[in-house]
Amino acid sequence: MSTEKFTRTIDWRERWKQRWRLWLYKARVVRHIAFVGFMANTIGRLEHRQVWKKRNQGEKIWLDDLYSPPVDEEKYQIFEPVKADIQPNTHKRPRKAKLMKQEAYPSTDYGFAYRRPPLSGNVINGVGETQPRRPFQPTFFSKGYTGPWNKLERLYQAFLPVSIPNFILRIYWMDRHRLGLVAPKKRKIDDPAAMSAEIKAVAKRHGAAAVGITHLTDDMCYRDFNIPYKYAISVALPMDRETMLDTPTNETGLHIQHTYKAVGEIAIKIAAEIRQMGWPARASTNISPDSYEVLHIPVAVEAGVGTLGKHGSLITREFGSNVRLATVLTDLPLVVDGPEDIGVDDFCASCQICTTNCPPQAIFDIKQLVRGEEKWYVDFDKCIPYFAAHDGCGICIEVCPWSEPGRGPKISEKMLSRRMDVAAKPLSGKTKQEEERTYDPAINP
């Protein structure tokens, strides 16, 4: 599947064809908005009442009984048929960080279960695979509810207050501007480095807290998408820290959507300015009905915005994990930034805060082999049920010490300094300075 792209043209016939394609694209978005709005405010309201009635009465909800479109079985036949176990782990002593505002984290007694468990999300995501490959569509939030976890996706939607789906419709409406026509007059780029600095300034002017640039590679894209752009611009925006310390609640869930909308709007404005320069550009956001294009975290890591943490989310130097991401895809000649080592791996290797604060204990202590690469990974089958039951969770990214205001730069400096000290020590275990202080030529001629 090729992602829609408009290129510069000065031929009026071709430009009218592009206008027609753009109109069709926006018409599809509006049609989707109308459909989702109707479903959310009719059947969605009924489902919301029904599932909450059962939940409040202590009646178990059988996910198999919920309506959803059929799973695209043919697509998933390539995987070993390992069934998911959604019961939480219990091998660690659970803790609750004092900075979190709730008296206790919501229970892992979900009140729902499968009669026939779905294909394990860990299998779909490639855990244990020794060869690299591109990921499938998102295992959760699958396109058209056609993934193996579609029943839980439907329950998650039903648990949400109607205000959140209605707000998401506003994001859809905004996202119709993710794509647009390219100005016929192309700006000549003689200095890609200067243009990179200019684009970063544009991003900051529109509200971005962090921005980085990387080459767009296949491993950043979902399997079924051919992304015809050369560069990816990663944009990060922090969430309100005080609000998120109360997670998970309806209010924090809505705040997450507000942040997705805000960072998506920044990406849309950056893409629009690039198109005005006569270069193709497209904003890739998180919530759009056709946003299953790129994986924002790998893009952000390669662009130097942050590093993957033990909890499976991005960690930035200044804001920790308390951020949301969007991406701009473009052919504008730029200079890439590259990954930045801020000491996250060193810190996460010994830190246990997110692992012990995770109610279903879904966070692994060590890196896992995922699609041919050892990386931090969260047990999908344990994490997603809690995520669905409790407003999108987010506990792990808030208890992360890097997310505490002002701590990230200090942690980074300490981790990198400690690594340099270790590297400077010879076999004796002493640094060069220590060796010089203890050297006595009378004893050691």
| Structure confidence by residue, pLDDT tens digits, 201-211 | 999 999 999 99
Amino acid at 77: Q
The answer to which of 109-118, 248-257, 423-432 has the lowest mean pLDDT is: 423-432
Average pLDDT rounded to a whole number, residues 311-318: 98
In this predicted structure, the answer to whether residue 439 has a pLDDT above a threshold of 90 is: no
The tokens for 309 are 């943490």
* Helices (H) then strands (E): counts for the chain: 16, 10
Greater confidence (114 vs 429) lies with: 114
In this predicted structure, the answer to whether residue 217 has a pLDDT above a threshold of 80 is: yes
The tokens for 14 are 């071709």
- What burial letters (b/e) apply to 384-412, b meaning 16+ CB within 10 Å? bbbbbbbbbbbbbbbbbbbbbeeebeebb
pLDDT at 144: 80
Amino acid at 198: E
In this predicted structure, the answer to whether residue 238 has a pLDDT above a threshold of 50 is: yes
pLDDT at 92: 87
In this predicted structure, the answer to whether residue 352 has a pLDDT above a threshold of 50 is: yes
pLDDT at 438: 43
Average pLDDT rounded to a whole number, residues 124-138: 93
pLDDT at 332: 98
Nearest-angstrom CA–CA distance, 225 and 230:
14
Distances (CA, A) of 409 to 308, 350, 354, 372: 16, 18, 19, 31
Q: Would you list the domain boundaries of the chain? A: 12-403, 410-438
Confidence of residue 223 (pLDDT cuts 50, 70, 90): confident
Residues 6 or more apart in contact with residue 188 via CB below 8 angstroms: none
Question: Cβ atoms within 10 A of the Cβ of 207, count?
Answer: 13
- What burial letters (b/e) apply to 328-352, b meaning 16+ CB within 10 Å? bbbbbbbebbebbebbbbbbbeebe
Q: Which backbone phi and psi does 51 adopt, to 5 degrees?
A: -70, -35
Reference 179, options 100, 267, 287; nearest CA is 267
Nearest-angstrom CA–CA distance, 329 and 306:
19
Average pLDDT rounded to a whole number, residues 72-92: 93
Nearest-angstrom CA–CA distance, 146 and 64:
14
Q: What is the value of pTM for the model shown? A: 0.92
